[in-house]
Amino acid sequence: MARITVKGVSEIRGPIIVIEGVSGIRMGEYLEVKLPNKPTRKGRVLAIEEERVIILLYQGTYEVEKDDIETEFFGRTMQLFVAEDMIGRVFNSLGEPLDGLPSIYSDEYRDINGSPINPTSRIYPRDYIETGISSIDLMNTLVRGQKLPIFTGAGLPNNRLIGQIVKQARIAETEDKEKFAIVFGAMGLTMDDYIYFQRLFEETGTLNKVVMFVNLASDSPAERLITPRVALTTAEYLAFDKDYHVLAILSDITNYCQALRAISVALETVPSRKGYPGYMYSDLASIYERAGIIEDSQGSITLIANLTMPNDDITHPIPDLTGYITEGQIILDRSLHYRGIYPPIDVLGSLSRLMKDGIGEGYTRKDHPSLSNQLYASYAEGLDKRRLAEVIGKKELNRRDQILHEFADIFEEDYVNQGDNYRTIEESLNLGWSLLSHLPETELTKVSTDLILEYIPNKGADSV
Amino acid sequence: MTNSDEERARIVTIKGSTVEVRGLSSYRMGEITYVGEEKLIGEIIEIERNLATVQVYEPLEGLKINDPIYLTGKSISAELGPGLLSNIFDGIQRPLEQIKKTSSSSFIQKGIHINALNRDKKWLFEPNKKLTKGHLVKGGDVLGSVQETQTIKCNIIAPPKTNGELLSIQEKGEFQITDPIVELKGSDKSKKELTLMHEWPVRIARPFLKKIPVHEPLITGQRIIDMFFPIAKGGTAAIPGGFGTGKTILQHQLSKWSDADIVVYIGCGERGNEMTDVLREFPKLVDPHTQNPLMNRTLLIANVSNMPVAAREASIYMGITMAEFYRDQGFNVLLTADSTSRWAEALREIAGQLEEMPVEEGYPAYLGARLADFYERAGQVVTLGSPYREGSINITAAVSPPGGDFSEPVTANTKRFVKTFWGLDSNLANRKHFPSINWLYSYSGYINIIEEWALESGLEDWGRYRQEMFTILQKDDELQHIAELIGSKALPADEQLIILVADIIKEGFLQQNAYDKIDSFCPLEKQMKMMKLMLLFNNRAEILIKNGCPISLIIGLKSVQILKRMKEDVPNDNIVQMNKMEDYIHTEMEELGSKYGYRV
């Protein structure tokens, strides 16, 4: 398509510039702004009002001169060149190399906005992924092709948990090990966190399997809006065109949303809750929904995202809208963390929506569904009793309540608190049963008598 | 509409999901337009002098100023006729399977135009024998029928505004959906042909003869609904709940097991994988009422969350119009919408683009009015036309309040228009108590009607059982507050018994496992029997306690476990086993009594 070049701008406001008196510009078009003696900046057409073209500049407008710049419109949306060679490389949000190696040249390019997957073309995810972490594997099972955010708070060890998942998760276990890749989208990460991830990939020997797109906290917020999109475009290419099992890691969604809010304010959009734009749900959906499995490929995209809850508030619009789109969430709990429990996963608040079809006979083990239900229910009741004990004192509890209270303690200390150890699913399941053996049989209402007989033989014997 | 109009008309503004057009000369609100060279589908939603605003149902990337715009003269309409059932559509009624075949892509591209109904397929049409030449045919009259799926025989009805004298009607035979089957002579002597299908503008409710009071329950097989908070056929219910409280699973359960004839399932801003789950699972499931695959009576609308926002706004109207079409044939239709909050948010998003003045939380002022319009399209009606038919539409709509806060505008406004409220409780969900319908703040406005129905249907005890169980649960709630302060050990025995029985009810009756083969659907007969046994236990235990029996002996009874587990342990049709359990409870209580010398 023909490129159009225009000189000068008529308005500059935050990251937005407005160009007037130009025709033939397309909605969403990609453009480059040439500044004298400075690097070229890139942007996107956000809206067109008659003669006025409203543009977002990804690197901001600082030092943009009103009359002395030249804008070149490309006649197409922003595209990313994609290739298998990207694996092992580091790029910025625009797909430019940051590792000193040459740019990617390829015959293949993709629109970074992607298109919705036709629901009739999706394959329902049901192959569970063993992460070696009991609170996830047994209680909130991760499934290949799932999108699962980690709701965390400032100062909680969410990155350590992601590190463990990267290290241990058997994403491509059953198939060709070579066909595994990690796509990492760093959105507004601090340098410390970025270095952590870099070292993590080095230490785990996955560096040659990672494609990184980096937007640091000090980089432009406008550019942050495209980081997850280039990352997922790459993930889609690797998974759906090249049959890779891709683990996409986005960190941190909260930084992304704050950038989204900043840009929407600059555009004078009517705000909804806490100043975030009304379209934030749709916008987040256009990111998360790109995970999954489709019919005509062997690959998959499993998406894990860090999301720092502002003030640990799960009702804040960012975690709230996310929870309505993703297939569950892993929540980290501050009080568990302070008690030295790692990983501090809030088992009750966490949820995996795809768990039901990925576990049980033929998947993990036949006792898995009812065992996890029983652990859930007894732990929940145990926590109630703990609250009660806080009021009336532990001694005042009746025998049953005391047993449940103790169960909750053991569950957290022995089960959730596994440190960096790896537990196979068998080990997690067996440990679950040994916890249940602390409870009287009358409490085991969610597991069938047959299962009790099989897994806690002593207990089963005296009940019949 | 002329060519010269279109030549003058041009796009002047492009923003969000709307464009502004100048230079159209003859157009109206709601008119469907094709936008740009790719002919994206749009609808006129605002007119200001010579400027028309069009909301576009597809992404706008690539459009430019001065691109052409084409008027169609039509309002956004649904195609109605055989072939809708077992199908899955997007928010503007494009069949997703066909989109996949046509585009040979797993992704949905722009600018795809596909008819909702398959034009090539032939249907075996059986004419209505009563229609002969000269007969006056009016809107809603049954012209004949077509076996649409194994389960559903679709009545071919004359479109609502029909009025004319029958000139000819086709013999029994195979026809495509656009073939004329009836020829009429209008009052102005003009000839008119009717086909197996017709179109209807979705934003206008289809007419009926009159609304009549609802009079029977929708049996859902979900105990807490059928027994505690029932919904009538033709009734409305809202299911508000934060994320993870089980809205979607409850909607799936209702769609699977309700004794409606037709189910319209609208996934409005849903997760893609959840729609795939429905597509994968429903064809395998058997309708407990007809023993046929559930998909035979189901039609799905999938507007997944990353599809364009304007199509999400339209999906609700598409769904209700298709529901009305089956209602008009004389069916009871269940419409489940998941979630209406996403639809309200689409309204908000579009209102924001139009720079309308926001009221609460950015929602437009007409939010309540739109919700009212939608819920008022439910109901039990006498349809137009002959023969006499009654049909109904149930609406059960999920609401997703931000942060689980029920005072937010969508939940609050919805409460004004629905009669049944199944409030989902995240505390219950956290402890895996599903369905997480909270029994203390949920309600049903159909209790009286259903009590009457129960009396006539041999379920005389329904009202009494319900009340007794309710009383126990309410007392339990009060006692729990006290127990939280002093511990349940300190309560007197009769109050501890209430806590025990409430526990049995919660675990053995209110909780229902959607994934359990037996428990997923619980027939009315078994529900009644379960209530009976639990209340029997309560009654006997009360007597024992009164006579001085310590509560610990009662807690330890095997009957407690039996009552908690009979939902999954006893096959649904095995009444014999239920009776044996009744005997066992009697015996065990009597033994306890005689052993310790208490009178039972």
B323 vs B277, higher pLDDT = B323
Q: Do the Cβ atoms of B64 and A48 come within 8 Å?
A: yes
B486 CA to chain A: closest CA distance, Å?
6
Of B107, B487, B564, the CB nearest to A445: B564
Q: What angle do CA B406, B239, B505 make, to 5 degrees?
A: 100
Q: Which of residues 281-320 of A touch B (CB under 8 A)?
A: 281-282, 285-286, 289-290, 292, 294-297, 314-317, 320
Q: Which residues in chain A are closer than 8 Å to B244, comparing Cβ atoms?
A: 323, 328-329, 351
Whole-angstrom distance, CA of residue A288 vs CA of residue A303? 8
Whole-angstrom distance, CA of residue A89 vs CA of residue A210? 7
Q: Which of residues 385-424 of B touch A (CB under 8 A)?
A: 400, 402-405
- The residue type at B474: Q
Query: Mean pLDDT throughout B245-269?
Result: 93
Burial of A207 (0-12, 13-18, 19+ CB in 10 A): middle
A125 touches chain B (CB under 8 A): yes
- Cα→Cα distances B586→B195, B502, B593, Å: 65, 19, 11
Whole-angstrom distance, CA of residue A92 vs CA of residue A89? 10
pLDDT (tens digit per residue) in B278-296: 888 888 888 888 888 889 9
Whole-angstrom distance, CA of residue A125 vs CA of residue B273? 8
Chain B residue closest in CA terms to A450: B569
Whole-angstrom distance, CA of residue A279 vs CA of residue B350? 9
Name the band, by pLDDT with cuts 50, 70 and 90, for residue B184.
Answer: very high
Of A23, A50, A292, the CB nearest to B272: A292
Q: What confidence score (pLDDT) does residue A464 get?
A: 36
Q: Do the Cβ atoms of A120 and B279 come within 8 Å?
A: yes
Whole-angstrom distance, CA of residue A113 vs CA of residue A79? 9
Find out whether B450 and B217 touch, Cβ atoms under 8 Å: yes
Q: What confidence score (pLDDT) does residue B2 get?
A: 43
Return the C-alpha torsion angle B573, B578, B579, B584, nearest 10: 160
Q: Which of residues 488-517 of B touch A (CB under 8 A)?
A: 488-490, 507, 515
Element at B129 (helix H, strand E):
none
Q: Do the Cβ atoms of B64 and A26 come within 8 Å?
A: yes
Q: How would DSSP label each residue in B254-318?
A: HHHH---SEEEEEEEEE-HHHHHHHHHHGGG-B-TTTSSBGGGGEEEEEEETTS-HHHHHHHHHH
pLDDT (tens digit per residue) in B51-95: 899 999 888 888 988 899 998 888 999 999 999 999 999 999 999
Q: What angle do CA B455, B458, B464 make, to 5 degrees?
A: 55
Q: Which of residues 341-370 of B touch A (CB under 8 A)?
A: 342, 345, 348-349, 351-352, 355, 358, 361-362
- Positions in chain A short of pLDDT 70: 1, 172-178, 459-464
CA A12 to chain centre: 34
Q: How would DSSP label each residue in B316-339?
A: HHHHHHHHHHHHHTT-EEEEEEE-
User: What integer best gives the mean pLDDT of chain A?
Assistant: 90
- Delineate the domains of chain B, giving CATH numbers in brackets: 3-75 (2.40.30.20), 118-196 (2.40.50.100), 210-445 (3.40.50.300), 462-596 (1.10.1140.10)
Find out whether B584 and B541 touch, Cβ atoms under 8 Å: no
B13 touches chain A (CB under 8 A): yes
Q: Which of residues 22-41 of A touch B (CB under 8 A)?
A: 23-29
Return the closest-CA partner of residue B398 out of B337, B449, B353.
B337
Q: Do the Cβ atoms of B105 and A351 come within 8 Å?
A: no
Find out whether B504 and B533 touch, Cβ atoms under 8 Å: no
B568 CA to chain A: closest CA distance, Å?
9
Burial of B393 (0-12, 13-18, 19+ CB in 10 A): buried
Phi/psi at B373 (5° precision): -55, -45
pLDDT over 80 (residue B581): yes
Return the C-alpha torsion angle B75, B81, B87, B88, nearest 10: 10
Q: Which residues contact B377 (CB under 8 A, 6 or more apart)?
A: B205, B320, B323, B324, B393, B395
Q: What confidence score (pLDDT) does residue A297 get?
A: 92
Whole-angstrom distance, CA of residue A261 vs CA of residue A258? 5
CA B487 to chain centre: 43
B37 touches chain A (CB under 8 A): no
Q: Which of residues 536-595 of B touch A (CB under 8 A)?
A: 556, 560-561, 564-565, 568
Find out whether A140 and A331 touch, Cβ atoms under 8 Å: no
- The residue type at B172: K
What 3-state class would DSSP assign to B405? coil
A281 CA to chain B: closest CA distance, Å?
8
Whole-angstrom distance, CA of residue B550 vs CA of residue B117? 69
**CA-based radius of gyration for chain A:** 25
B431 touches chain A (CB under 8 A): yes
Return the closest-CA partner of residue A307 out of A236, A246, A245, A254.
A254
Find out whether B560 and B534 touch, Cβ atoms under 8 Å: no
Q: Do the Cβ atoms of B362 and A272 come within 8 Å?
A: yes
How many CB pairs below 8 Å do chains A and B form together?
218
Query: Mean pLDDT throughout B572-577?
Result: 89
Query: Mean pLDDT throughout B334-354?
Result: 90
pLDDT over 50 (residue B174): yes
Q: Do the Cβ atoms of A26 and B62 come within 8 Å?
A: yes
Q: Do the Cβ atoms of B488 and A272 come within 8 Å?
A: no
- Delineate the domains of chain A, giving CATH numbers in brackets: 4-77 (2.40.10.170), 80-358 (3.40.50.12240), 368-463 (no CATH)
A381 touches chain B (CB under 8 A): yes
Query: Mean pLDDT throughout B514-536?
Result: 94
Q: What confidence score (pLDDT) does residue B301 get?
A: 95
pLDDT over 50 (residue B237): yes
Q: What confidence score (pLDDT) does residue A427 get?
A: 95
User: What integer best gives the mean pLDDT of chain B?
Assistant: 91
Chain A residue closest in CA terms to B399: A324
Phi/psi at A121 (5° precision): -100, -5
